[in-house]
Structure 1
Amino acid sequence: MKLSVIDLGYNSVKLVCYKVNSDGTFRAYDRRSVKTKIGRGLTEGGYLSEVASRDTIESLRLFRDILVSDDVKNIIAVATSAVREAKNRAKFISDIYEKTGFTFRILSHKEESYYSWCGALHSTCISDVLFFDLGGGSLEIVHSHDFKINNHLSLPLGALRMTRILNQKNGDLGKKYVRRHLMKLEQHIVKSLPDRKQFDFSPDVTLVGVGGTLRTIAQYDQDLTNYPLDKINNYKMKIEHIEEITEKLSGMSVAEITEIVSIGSSRADTVVPGCYVISSLMRKLGHDSVVVSTEGLREGLVLSFINDPGYLSSDNIQPTLRSQVEYIVKTGCRRIPPPSRYHSFLETLLSVGLLKERELQILIEAIQRIHQFHNILSTNSLFYALIDEEYKNLSHGELLVLCLSIIYSKKQKISNRLFAKYKSILHTPQNKRSIEKISSCLNFITAVEKSHATIHHVVYDGNIFHIDLRCNDLFRFPRFLFEEAKRSLISSLGIPVEYNMQLDSNDIKVKVEDKNVS
């Protein structure tokens, strides 16, 4: 199924087209954005200007032609802060329908923040979160614990809105920013932001953010630090880096900022005010880092449609909105159970402390990915195919552990070379150890699958790890393959391993034991 979202925001109008699979997963295959700055077209009296309205409708006509040519029938069209605040919003929405055929829904503050939270949390799966979405017109903040929303707040602190305030004082965009004007803007932002008492969150709550400004400075931060992994989603950025970037860009003109490749002309005029909003939020609420999500409002709307195609067309969704997005996130973030045929093997490794909980979850994900990419023979191609996928609740370090574990199970030399390349992310010895343990488990599971055997029983008596297997054909049992997999387990786990192979059809048993830990 094809599904498209049109998002009419304060700064731009965006079109994203998705391919939705039968299992409910989806992936964007086309993205378009036109910087109409309709929020800047709001007059002093609160009306959308004719020029901004006309430019927006022209962009929507282009989107209509794209969707017609692509035969997209399912379209979600929403408008946020600029249209929501406009006194002539009803006429504007009517004009859009008359000239393009699109029926727009104007999202309330709550709807915008909840759907954005839904999209971000579904992709990061962090249960205790202070979430923010910095758009062009507003800053949406949501606090949730165990995937349940506790509080939300909407503030008129969008990046483009702050740019308008700053430009009223600073004047010509070609000039460099005046320090006293930036200080006054920062004071205005800090005064408008809530304090920790208003949200009453625990000290270990994770700050997660979305929005164009945050993605832009995350990309710029990676460029400045020569970050080896080209991936923004789940990137953790320190406040010191954000403040250094803010200070650096504040000393430049918009024309100079435009020349920075990772920022460009589309964000050059709004990135500095946006940086001040983000850094002020982090300082006032006591966060030293922020996790960047590349998914937000549009993905939340897609998830809502998949969950209930008729829900968004309802006249009154407010009473059940929170329960719906909470259900979507909690369902999507359920812990992946071990495959049933390996349950006893994996759970025993966990229960006796031979694998940690995070290592087990990475291993379970790795088993799925090996099956998904079984037809890729080149280990280098396999690595980059794995890296390009999206993973829930995996930091960049954990993502690399997953990918390198799979590569290590096939070609140790290539895995070691890649480990050296990403050493700045994989900086702890524990990551190397985890890769060895996970890859040895993958090798053993591969041996079980290739022999068409089943794991019947697993026990660790404190000295030896015992594995009982069942096989239909003893003569075709790949003894040497299992021996190699067993040696890998012994080396990585640091304990003796014993396995028994028994035929399902009779009582013939082969016992193989190795108590020499290498």
Structure 2
Amino acid sequence: MAAVIDIGATSNRMAIAEIDAEGHVKPLESVSRPVSLGKDTFTQRRIRKSSIEQCVRVLKSYRQLLREYGITQNDAVRVVATSAVREAMNRLAFIDRVYIATGFDVEPLDEAEVSRITYMGIQPQLQAEPRLASRRCMVVEVGGGSTEVLVVQSGNVLFSHTYRLGSLRLLETLEKFKAPRSKQRAIMESQILRFVAQIREHVSADSPLQMIGIGGDVRFAGRQLLEDWDLTGLAYLPVERLNELTRRLLQMTEEDISRQYGLSIQDAETLVPALLCYLLIARGFDQSEIAISDTNLRDGLLHDMAIQDVWTANFRSQIIRSAVSLGRRFDFDEKHARHVATLCRKLFSELQEEHQLEPRNELILYLAALLHEIGYYINTRSNHKHTMYLIRHSEIFGLGRKDLLLVSLVARYHRRSSPQPQHEGYANLDRNGRVTVSKLAAILRVAIALDESRSQRIQDISCRVTGRKLIISAAGVEDVTLEQLALRQSGNLFEETYGIPVLLRAASRSS
């Protein structure tokens, strides 16, 4: 058995499930307790001591429930936190306090990780729904501090982004303006429509699209308006009916909503702003109905625990697609980039005994190879630094900030200086991170030299280490003079890192 705990902006939620040997997940119990951490973070930038202690009390009760299920090992429980903890200035103090009091190790999820988990949770439902299997779908989840938008078609991720639009942030705006109830809808709509315009800039509304809403607030709307929905699978909610419900709720106080619908005060406060977000996004994309899903972050987390290997082959392909899309945005030389990336993959495999890196680092190297020249879009001078900047400040679906930093640094060191302690980004890495960057960047420089002609003429290579030299043999190529010259100019980092020089030979020559 396994459990996941989601420390959100308005509540702490836990899901307990049974996972069989084949990775099938059978839900056993779900519990939720209101804890409004987001109100603290989004107004004061810090989580108050009283809120921390309230959260600790809830988590202690969850620990007791887990014991009743026989779940006592920490590796069977994953505890995550989203924007309310991630953005708090005292998040480390919060994490330490929870660990000391409960033994739970809280993992703040960055935006890319949330997108990945959402994809893992929603994709099986999209595949099972005939009318959505090949259609462009825009998955939207409005939370307390952010709104996540994920566009998927035929299993492929076309776009993902997290916007700083959330129900608690909207409430903060109302408090700041001290808006009377008669003006609240207009103020919130003004804020929301600015973000809708941003989403429309990123996601084309010109071709057919189906909006899918996930999250507790839109599920609430589905329960109230769709009598036949049994809270499993997908249901379709007419936008006009959502508008009627939202208008009716706007006329009620939070206390009235709480009493009439059996919600906590915290959930009653955030309900209307969240529904207004879903409504205006749907209208912005001319949707007549919203598909509502019962999936949530905890479903994706349990699926993660079931499959063991988070970076599956399919998921890797989604990450690569996102990186290629980024490269095209900056007019990269796609043939050269893809070929260098393929050569990197071959070198990584054949040099396993030399670098001894984990398999996931092969993907970091591959992505850096794909994107190593996008800095040319800004300027040819110092293009390696521009490359690093563009990667660090872009989004690649499925990559968290730490992995994105590694990709940006490996790409940055594809030319010129070797890594230096004072360099931005590199200085923040621990020893393992610094060594990883040096090892991968060294391989990248060799791969780039092998395509110095930019003709992709060296296709088949083999490597062997002999006499403390790395000898690369290129099959099917008679003259490798150009590439040998390039290696002499850029191979220093490889020798500095691995302690051996690199020699390139045509395979027909005697070694």
TM-score (norm 2): 0.56
Q: Say whether 1:147 aligns with 2:155.
A: yes
Gaps of 5+ in 1: 172-176, 312-316, 328-518
For residue 359 of structure 2, what is the aligned residue in structure 1?
none
CA distance in 2 between partners of 1:322 and 1:296 (Å) = 19
CA distance in 1 between partners of 2:23 and 2:145 (Å) = 32
Contact persistence 2:211–2:291 (CA under 8 A): yes
Among all aligned residue pairs of Structure 1 and Structure 2, give the percentage whose two residues are the same amino acid.
Answer: 21
For residue 245 of structure 2, what is the aligned residue in structure 1?
245
For residue 40 of structure 2, what is the aligned residue in structure 1?
41
TM-superposed deviation, 1:149: 1.0
Contact persistence 2:42–2:168 (CA under 8 A): no
Q: Say whether 1:183 aligns with 2:186.
A: yes
Q: 1:208 to 1:75 in 2, by over 3 A?
A: same
What's the CA shift string for 1:258-290, capped at 9, x where partnerless? Answer: 233375656322211111111111111222211
For residue 207 of structure 1, what is the aligned residue in structure 2?
211
For residue 99 of structure 2, what is the aligned residue in structure 1?
97
Tell me the secondary structure at the aligned position of residue 215 of structure 1. Answer: helix
Listed as ranges, the matches of 1:117-156 within 5 Å are 117-125=119-127, 126-127=132-133, 128-156=136-164
Contact persistence 1:5–1:17 (CA under 8 A): yes
Q: 1:196 to 1:276 in 2, by over 3 A?
A: same
For residue 217 of structure 1, what is the aligned residue in structure 2?
221
Q: Quick one: which amino acid aligns to residue 164 of structure 1? A: E
CA distance in 2 between partners of 1:63 and 1:281 (Å) = 36
Using the TM superposition, name which of 117-126 and 277-286 deviates more. 117-126
For residue 374 of structure 2, what is the aligned residue in structure 1?
none
What's the CA shift string for 1:308-335, capped at 9, x where partnerless? Answer: 26x5xxxxx8x999538889xxxxxxxx
What's the CA shift string for 1:386-417, capped at 9, x where partnerless? Answer: xxxxxxxxxxxxxxxxxxxxxxxxxxxxxxxx
Tell me the secondary structure at the aligned position of residue 283 of structure 1. Answer: helix
What's the CA shift string for 1:76-107, capped at 9, x where partnerless? Answer: 11110111101111221122112111112111
Contact persistence 1:195–1:285 (CA under 8 A): no
RMSD of Structure 2 on Structure 1 (CA): 2.6
CA distance in 1 between partners of 2:42 and 2:292 (Å) = 33
Contact persistence 1:120–1:210 (CA under 8 A): no
Q: 1:285 to 1:43 in 2, by over 3 A?
A: closer
Listed as ranges, the matches of 1:470-489 within 5 Å are none
CA distance in 1 between partners of 2:216 and 2:203 (Å) = 25
Q: 1:146 to 1:21 in 2, by over 3 A?
A: same
Tell me the secondary structure at the aligned position of residue 269 of structure 1. Answer: helix
Tell me the secondary structure at the aligned position of residue 149 of structure 1. Answer: strand
Contact persistence 2:36–2:266 (CA under 8 A): no
Contact persistence 2:8–2:83 (CA under 8 A): yes
TM-superposed deviation, 1:207: 1.1
What's the CA shift string for 1:425-447, capped at 9, x where partnerless? Answer: xxxxxxxxxxxxxxxxxxxxxxx
What's the CA shift string for 1:16-67, capped at 9, x where partnerless? Answer: 1011233322122111111111111227551111111111111111111211
Listed as ranges, the matches of 1:229-244 within 5 Å are 229-231=229-231, 233-244=233-244
Tell me the secondary structure at the aligned position of residue 39 of structure 2. Answer: coil
Q: 1:170 to 1:289 in 2, by over 3 A?
A: farther
Gaps of 5+ in 2: 321-511
What's the CA shift string for 1:177-198, capped at 9, x where partnerless? Answer: 6232210111111112224341
CA distance in 1 between partners of 2:206 and 2:264 (Å) = 38
Q: Quick one: which amino acid aligns to residue 98 of structure 1? A: I
CA distance in 2 between partners of 1:275 and 1:206 (Å) = 17
What's the CA shift string for 1:152-179, capped at 9, x where partnerless? Answer: 11112222332332344457xxxxx623
For residue 11 of structure 1, what is the aligned residue in structure 2?
10
What's the CA shift string for 1:416-473, capped at 9, x where partnerless? Answer: xxxxxxxxxxxxxxxxxxxxxxxxxxxxxxxxxxxxxxxxxxxxxxxxxxxxxxxxxx
Q: Quick one: which amino acid aligns to residue 162 of structure 1? A: L
CA distance in 1 between partners of 2:235 and 2:275 (Å) = 17
CA distance in 1 between partners of 2:2 and 2:12 (Å) = 17
Q: How many residues align?
A: 310
- The counterpart of 1:115, out of the listed 117, 120, 134, is 117
- The counterpart of 2:195, out of the listed 192, 196, 202, is 192
Contact persistence 1:216–1:262 (CA under 8 A): no
Q: 1:181 to 1:257 in 2, by over 3 A?
A: same
CA distance in 2 between partners of 1:217 and 1:130 (Å) = 19
What's the CA shift string for 1:215-245, capped at 9, x where partnerless? Answer: 11111112xxxx3454453110011111111
Contact persistence 1:118–1:326 (CA under 8 A): no
For residue 80 of structure 2, what is the aligned residue in structure 1?
78
